[in-house]
Structure 1
Amino acid sequence: REFLDRVVTHIAHIEQQRIKLYTGNYSDFEIARAEHLANQQSAYQKQQSEIAHIRDFVNRFKAKATKAKQAQSRIKALERMEKIAPAHVDSPFHFSFFQPRRLTTPILALDKASVGYQQTPLIDNIKLHLAPGDRIGLLGPNGAGKSTLIKLIAGELEPLSGKRREGKDIVIGYFAQHQLEQLRPDESALKHLQRLDPMATEQDCRNFLGGFGFNGDTALEPVAPFSGGEKARLVLALLVYQRPALLLLDEPTNHLDLEMRLALTMALQEYEGALVVVSHDRYFLRNVTDDLWLVADGKAAAFEGDLDDYRQLRLGRETVNASADKSPAVNNGKKLDRQAAAQQRQKLQPLRNQVKKAEQVLDKQNAELAKIELQLADTTLYEAANKEKLKDLLQQQAATKAALEQAEMDWLEASEILENAETAEV
């Protein structure tokens, strides 16, 4: 998402065998599409009202000689009318994380642990305590050991030294790319879930899998021809079903499209267990993690900064490497400047964290409101049989709008405090 926002100027959106071109980046597209859907639904309802009026006229006057000609004219007008389709929203993913089967404090702990391969440590002296509600994103250059640390936490690797302790009877959900290839190619998504829970009814399994896009015959098809995205969705579905107390996600969004990424992001925001995630998707990291750890130079420790600070750190390191042959005086001056900048960022970091958390709440409320309003665009919702559901959604819409307004106030207040502090530093 952030990548698209930075590099594209148009979005070509394909839906219902049609393609529509939007001007702007992905964020602009989301806003424009929501407006387009709202306008389309309004035009559809207006046209339906006009059609009903014409049909009523025809039915009343087609048998009367004085009005028969007018009635025929109206019928021809109705036949020539270009029909407007109701607003249609492709949102096949709707799932949430269940309450974990068991939560302990800590869920898992690493005490002075080291991890590596063939008795050669890749990361030393790891001290990590994971409790319910912890949300950690792992940062670091490729090859530094992020995936290795995840494997240690998951129990797939034993510590070379130190201790790894996990809470009694906890369930760990571990997602990694290699697990996509461990699915049984000749079996269906339904069969995979039934093997996990033989006592569940077929309908319950189908209902659950439907939230991950495996509807109808798709749930019965063999996994072999599935795309990478479909396999990733199935692995995630199997993890969610097990109600884990600890979720370990190693590049979970690699094969997922943007709609599934958004669904996963929203579900994780309500998750009550502990989360450790590795991802190159900055939008995903910003919205599902509260803390960052840096894995680099054989160490893993809390990173006192945000993703923008980490980006500057990486750029700074690259600049230092590129200019290593320059004069010591120049390098020393730049080093002092970087140190001063780092000290200032560290001083302002608590305020930035407040702004970040306010932004996450704001994004969450915006996403929830968009989800509700897309549901309200479904024309079948306005049928008499769905009266109670419509009433419930309208109440949710009002409550979410109120929460959104409060979130905006909180964000503005936090941003103003940070801005004043930054001005004072200058």
Structure 2
Amino acid sequence: MIALKRLTLARAGHPLIEGADLQIHPGWRVGLVGANGAGKSSLFALLAGELQPESGELEMPATWSLARVAQETPALPDPALDFVLDGDADLRRLEAAMAAAEASGDGEQIARLHSHYGDIDGYSARARAAEVLHGLGFTEADLQKPVAEFSGGWRVRLNLARALFCRADLLLLDEPTNHLDLDAVLWLESWLKTMPGTLLLISHDRDFLDAVVDHVMAIEQQRLSLTTGGYSDYEAARAARLAVQQSTFAAQQRQIAQLQRFIDRFKAKATKARQAQSRVKALARMEVVAAAHVDSPFNFTFPAPKHLPDPLLTLHRAAAGYGGKPLLQNLKMRLSPGCRIGLLGENGAGKSTLIKLLAGQIPLLAGERKEAKTLEIGYFAQHQLEQLRPDESPLQHLERQEPDTPEQALRDYLGGFDFRGDMATRPVGPFSGGEKSRLALALLIRTRPNLLLLDEPTNHLDLEMREALCLALQDYEGGVLLVSHDRHLLRTATDELWQVADGKASLFEGDLDDYAAWLSARKTAAKAATAERVEQKAERRQKREEEAAARQELLRKRRPLMKELEQLDEQIASQEAEARTLETRLADPALYAPGADRKPLEELIRRQAQVWQSLEAAELRWLEVHAALEALPAPER
């Protein structure tokens, strides 16, 4: 159990948490929430032993092992799969000891080590590591690819895979979905729901938190509180607390009334399509959400576009790709004012390529891209953050865009994005990723675009800013095309889903739940196809071996050796059958249940070691006899 007793935490003399008293029990999955800078990462550093409390106590079991995602990945020549396996130090030490024991022929040591290896699920380690990598978007070919050959974003995924693979008592995850697409987020969600051990999770994705955590720990005004349930439960409790304050309650009612007008308007034009109805439900739920975030520091809207031509942009039989090679073909899209499109697709399917084509960032390979004369595109992608001038302040960035606008008007606008006071005049360079994303969005919104192309706009944004963006998009009059792994944003900001898959982009008839089911079925089919290929390969290998044995049997001058070969073949087959039987029996979970008699397990492992040793000797002798036969002259025909 983790216990905080009157704990006060500070960083650089700035108090973050004061007088915290709470307990986290083994097996809990706790979501840690709070504004950027509230102290979430500092609390993780405290749990990892990197910080000490100003006062009070932190109690954790001394035997607990801890896993967290490393911030950097060296350019190693090691294959990705081995890099992930190396994260389990005990596994690797045990494998080295087993190799040494087998080299020395120490049967008792081999049996003891193999027993321990079974206790930590060592026999399934490579399969488990591969499963984690596949779930995070790595292909089969990537498993043997050197770590040094992966880009920065993929190395972040490798670090996440390594942390997930560890057999830790406490897993600390800080924004694990930031570099993932929706498919990987869905896999990670299902994995975390069944993981053993205790989880502490920092995330600004409300759907992800709701699906994974059973408690929410919040840092608000230097106080640490613990709420039972998911993030929605915490949000409802927070809304109720805020409503106690009369001024906050009045603000809540104004915001809810504004949102209700939009919901009613949307319902009036919504069809019975699954995605449209899904969005109606999501918007209705935002009444509670709005109440919980009424004290948000963010308050902005999209100014009305200067022009709203219809259509804004069309693609006809368009093709897009790189190096002259098309990734997407026969694209047909019509973007009009008021359209709300969310793009779905597996990693590498071409979602970002499609957005770049629409934004005019890459050339057409074929077909037609036609834009309205008064089209004004607002394109947001992560590389926009790199275009910010590190030595200039938010105010200077905005003044560069609008040199004739009074400074106070620009300051008022920046205040809606929480760039107030000195924050508006500080250089951007030291800003956090979330602050830079906020500024990039503020600059983009100020240009009054009539078509928004947003590629993962919520990366690094906290929950308050994400909610403010959802609300601002409700009254936006232009068109929106969005790629995001944030399902709350997709549900509330889009009324049409398009799927990018197999080189095409087409309307997806369903909602996000339907997409998750489609994705699961697709992955199941892929696994079955892989298993079938492996089985066919094994059958072909077995057939070749049988034909080789039959040919050898017909050679009269080699009868003695052939007889021995036949005996060896029978011995190997018998021992392989026994090895498979032993492996099946060792996979029985009952053998490893707490309190179970260890003698049957140790006897099985001991017999398995004997079978493997005998099988290895038989296979070696088989090779020697076969070599002797090959050295003999060919029989006469």
Q: Secondary structure at the match of 2:348?
A: coil
Q: 1:179 aligns with which of 349, 373, 384?
A: 384
Could you tell me how far 1:102 is from its partner in structure 2? Answer: 1.1
Q: Would you say the 8 A contact 1:293–1:303 is kept in 2?
A: yes
Could you tell me how far 1:90 is from its partner in structure 2? Answer: 4.4
Could you tell me how far 1:19 is from its partner in structure 2? Answer: 1.9
- Rounded Cα–Cα distance in structure 1 between residues aligned with 2:522 and 2:296: 42
Could you tell me how far 1:213 is from its partner in structure 2? Answer: 0.8
Q: Does 1:304 find its partner at 2:486? A: no
Question: Structure 1, residues 309-356: CA drift from partner, whole Å, max 9, x if none?
Answer: 11111000111111226789xxxxxxxxxxxxxxxxxxxxxxxxxxxx
Q: Does 1:281 find its partner at 2:486? A: yes
Judged with a 3 Å threshold, the aligned counterparts in structure 2 of structure 1 residues 162 and 37 are, in CA distance, closer, same or farther, namely same
One-letter identity of the residue aligned with 1:17: Q
Q: Would you say the 8 A contact 1:15–1:90 is kept in 2?
A: no
Q: Does 1:197 find its partner at 2:385? A: no
Could you tell me how far 1:275 is from its partner in structure 2? Answer: 0.3
Q: Would you say the 8 A contact 2:318–2:369 is kept in 1?
A: yes
- Rounded Cα–Cα distance in structure 2 between residues aligned with 1:39 and 1:267: 26
Q: Does 1:103 find its partner at 2:308? A: yes
Q: Would you say the 8 A contact 1:115–1:149 is kept in 2?
A: yes
Judged with a 3 Å threshold, the aligned counterparts in structure 2 of structure 1 residues 325 and 202 are, in CA distance, closer, same or farther, namely closer
Q: 2:425 aligns with which of 220, 232, 253?
A: 220
- % same residue: 62
Q: Secondary structure at the match of 2:226?
A: strand
Could you tell me how far 1:9 is from its partner in structure 2? Answer: 1.5
Per the alignment, residue 248 of structure 1 pairs with 453
Per the alignment, residue 147 of structure 1 pairs with 352
Could you tell me how far 1:41 is from its partner in structure 2? Answer: 6.1
Count the aligned residue pairs.
284
Q: Which has the larger radius of gyration?
A: 2
- Rounded Cα–Cα distance in structure 1 between residues aligned with 2:530 and 2:424: 60
Unaligned runs of 5+ in 1: 43-86, 329-426
One-letter identity of the residue aligned with 1:161: A
Per the alignment, residue 17 of structure 1 pairs with 222
Q: Does 1:239 find its partner at 2:444? A: yes
- Rounded Cα–Cα distance in structure 1 between residues aligned with 2:365 and 2:303: 35
RMSD, aligned α-carbons: 1.9
- Rounded Cα–Cα distance in structure 2 between residues aligned with 1:146 and 1:34: 37
- Rounded Cα–Cα distance in structure 1 between residues aligned with 2:528 and 2:320: 33
Q: 1:27 aligns with which of 224, 229, 232?
A: 232
- Rounded Cα–Cα distance in structure 1 between residues aligned with 2:350 and 2:460: 22
Q: Does 1:269 find its partner at 2:269? A: no
Q: Would you say the 8 A contact 1:101–1:170 is kept in 2?
A: no
- Rounded Cα–Cα distance in structure 1 between residues aligned with 2:331 and 2:379: 20
> Larger relative CO (CA 8 A, sep 6+): 1 or 2?
1
Unaligned runs of 5+ in 2: 1-205, 248-291, 534-637
The normalised TM-score by structure 2 is 0.43
Q: How does 1:361-380 map to 2 (within 5 A)?
A: none
Could you tell me how far 1:283 is from its partner in structure 2? Answer: 1.0
Q: 2:498 aligns with which of 293, 296, 303?
A: 293
- Rounded Cα–Cα distance in structure 2 between residues aligned with 1:161 and 1:137: 24
Q: 1:137 aligns with which of 336, 342, 345?
A: 342
One-letter identity of the residue aligned with 1:142: N
The normalised TM-score by structure 1 is 0.65
Judged with a 3 Å threshold, the aligned counterparts in structure 2 of structure 1 residues 177 and 327 are, in CA distance, closer, same or farther, namely closer
